[in-house]
């Protein structure tokens, strides 16, 4: 890193080595940077030409990163489909935090080889899922939803074996923090109450330093803030029909960013029971369940703090329960704001029946989630379902609720109702083409998702799902 004019630090190493293990990315034989996030690079005022050079390729592939920083893999546990297990970064290593105009961002290679937590795996990634993460994370950023970002997609020039040989790939991922609920579970189950407190204090020092001004209530306020971030994030997911697919506690970011895009997808036809993941046989992480699963994950976080929240276990449990009860309020407030704006109103609890009636109409008539809200925004009702008496009555109530505040209503709706989403079959077709060597469609999608709220000639062919689309299934594929 000596030749790069960036400011780096490794604050995570201020924690006890209990929380991480030294680990370097494994060199790859013939890396090619297939996609470089030029808009992100320009927003950070980073040297684009240098990153696009052979020197940049070596850095982005993890083949060369200087001698001043020692990369590491983080330790954490995770409730995977409800079952707690030891995990850790099995195929990712973090270099450190780099300064940007938008705060410090942790630089992490994902798919970069074996680590002390690989548990027999090769630590590598298949190219297809890495492309998917790039497209999905860029879409989420453009929607205004907190997320990790993808700096680059690298084809390694090597094969990975997942039953069949696949092209290998890795990404450079940037995040505000990679600390998860599972990190606290690890501190609690493998460490001690003091380890939990150490990690919480470190998180507050890095991201919520204002809370340290009142140390007697800092832990409770830190947890309240964490719950609010998580609840708000999931309400935003619901608002764009995003289904994460694997909401395990190791995939729940403490700072409230969307992280670990595995078998995720966006809903086309509105159905609250939509689930895409091939491994989610019981539908645990279906669209309808995401808010409750977020609360469940936060309850697992709170359990690790019980000994620290009161002088006795009883007091700790009582305080944890008090904080846990706030999650639903945080979520309902964020949901009402999101879905209120989707129909052009500043919603209160009294407006819930109006919103839910629309969702019920959408489900009954199998209407497209994204396009229905866009039709409301533009007042263009082409679907036959919009001519039914039930919808006409709903529309009458809706327009009466908006009243004379039409201009404000349209402004809100245009801000939260996208014209286009990365629709599953289109994205999968683009990924398949890229793996075969043709990156044109992937590059097109990475342009399309940057302007999701604007009608363009580029996104026009992709605003609706294919009419003959089969039920879509996603795979982690890593």
Indicate which residues carry an active-site annotation: 250
Which of 208, 42, 25 lies closest to 118, judged by CA? 25
Backbone angles phi, psi at 425, to 5 degrees: -65, -40
Distance CA 300, CA 317 (A): 12
Distance CA 126, CA 108 (A): 17
- The residues near 49 (Cβ < 8 Å, ≥ 6 apart) are none
Distance CA 435, CA 270 (A): 31
Eight-class DSSP state of 147: B
3-class state of residue 433 by DSSP: helix
Beta strand 32-36 with 242-243: parallel, antiparallel or unpaired? unpaired
Tokens of 86: 């030891």
Task: Tell how far CA 362 is from the center of its chain.
Answer: 26
Cβ 300 vs Cβ 181: under 8 Å:
yes
Distance CA 236, CA 140 (A): 10
Distance CA 230, CA 145 (A): 12
Cβ 218 vs Cβ 211: under 8 Å:
yes
What H or E segment, with its residue span, contains residue 237?
helix 218-240
- The residues near 463 (Cβ < 8 Å, ≥ 6 apart) are 371, 419, 420
Distance CA 266, CA 261 (A): 12
Which of 370, 368, 400 lies closest to 383, judged by CA? 368
Q: What share of the chain is helix, strand, coil (3-state, %, to 5)?
A: 50, 15, 35
């Amino acid at each position: 890193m000596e030749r790069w004019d960036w400011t780096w630090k490794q604050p995570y190493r201020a924690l006890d080595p209990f929380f991480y293990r030294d680990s370097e990315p494994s060199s790859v034989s013939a890396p090619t940077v297939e996609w470089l996030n030029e808009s992100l690079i320009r927003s950070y005022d980073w040297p684009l030409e240098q990153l696009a050079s052979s020197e940049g390729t070596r850095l982005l592939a993890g083949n060369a990163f200087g001698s001043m920083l020692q990369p590491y893999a983080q330790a954490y546990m995770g409730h995977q489909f409800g079952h707690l297990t030891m995990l850790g970064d099995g195929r990712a290593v973090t270099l450190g935090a780099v300064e940007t105009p938008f705060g410090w961002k942790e630089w992490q290679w994902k798919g970069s080889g074996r680590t002390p937590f690989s548990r027999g795996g090769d630590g590598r990634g298949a190219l297809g899922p890495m492309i998917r993460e790039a497209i999905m994370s860029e879409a989420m950023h453009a929607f205004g939803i907190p997320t990790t970002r993808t700096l680059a997609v690298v084809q390694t020039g090597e094969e990975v074996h997942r039953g069949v040989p696949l092209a290998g790939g890795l990404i450079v991922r940037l995040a505000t923090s990679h600390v998860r609920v599972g990190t606290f579970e690890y501190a609690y189950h493998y460490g001690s109450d003091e380890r939990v407190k150490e990690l919480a204090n470190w998180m507050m020092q890095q991201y919520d330093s204002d809370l340290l001004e009142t140390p007697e209530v800092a832990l409770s306020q830190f947890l309240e803030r964490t719950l609010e971030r998580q609840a708000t994030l999931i309400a935003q997911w619901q608002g764009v029909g995003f289904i994460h697919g694997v909401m395990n506690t190791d995939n729940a970011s403490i700072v409230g960013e969307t992280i670990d895009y595995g078998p995720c997808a966006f809903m086309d036809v509105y159905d609250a029971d939509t689930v895409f993941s091939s491994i989610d046989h019981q539908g645990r992480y279906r669209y309808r369940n995401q808010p409750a699963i977020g609360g469940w994950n936060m309850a697992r976080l709170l359990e690790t703090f019980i000994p620290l929240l009161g002088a006795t276990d009883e007091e700790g449990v009582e305080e944890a329960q008090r904080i846990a009860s706030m999650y639903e309020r945080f979520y309902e407030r964020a949901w009402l704001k999101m879905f209120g704006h989707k129909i052009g109103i500043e919603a209160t609890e009294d407006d819930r029946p109006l919103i839910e009636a629309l969702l019920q109409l959408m489900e009954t008539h199998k209407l497209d989630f994204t396009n229905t809200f866009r039709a409301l925004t533009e007042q263009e009702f082409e679907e036959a379902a919009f001519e039914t008496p039930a919808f006409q009555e709903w529309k009458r109530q809706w327009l009466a609720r908006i009243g004379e505040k039409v201009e404000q209503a349209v402004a809100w709706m245009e801000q939260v109702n996208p014209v286009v989403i990365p629709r599953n079959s289109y994205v999968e077709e683009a990924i398949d083409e890229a793996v075969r060597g043709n990156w044109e469609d992937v590059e097109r999608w990475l342009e399309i998702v940057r302007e999701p709220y604007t009608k363009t000639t580029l996104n026009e062919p992709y605003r609706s799902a294919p009419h003959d689309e089969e039920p879509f299934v996603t795979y982690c594929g890593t």
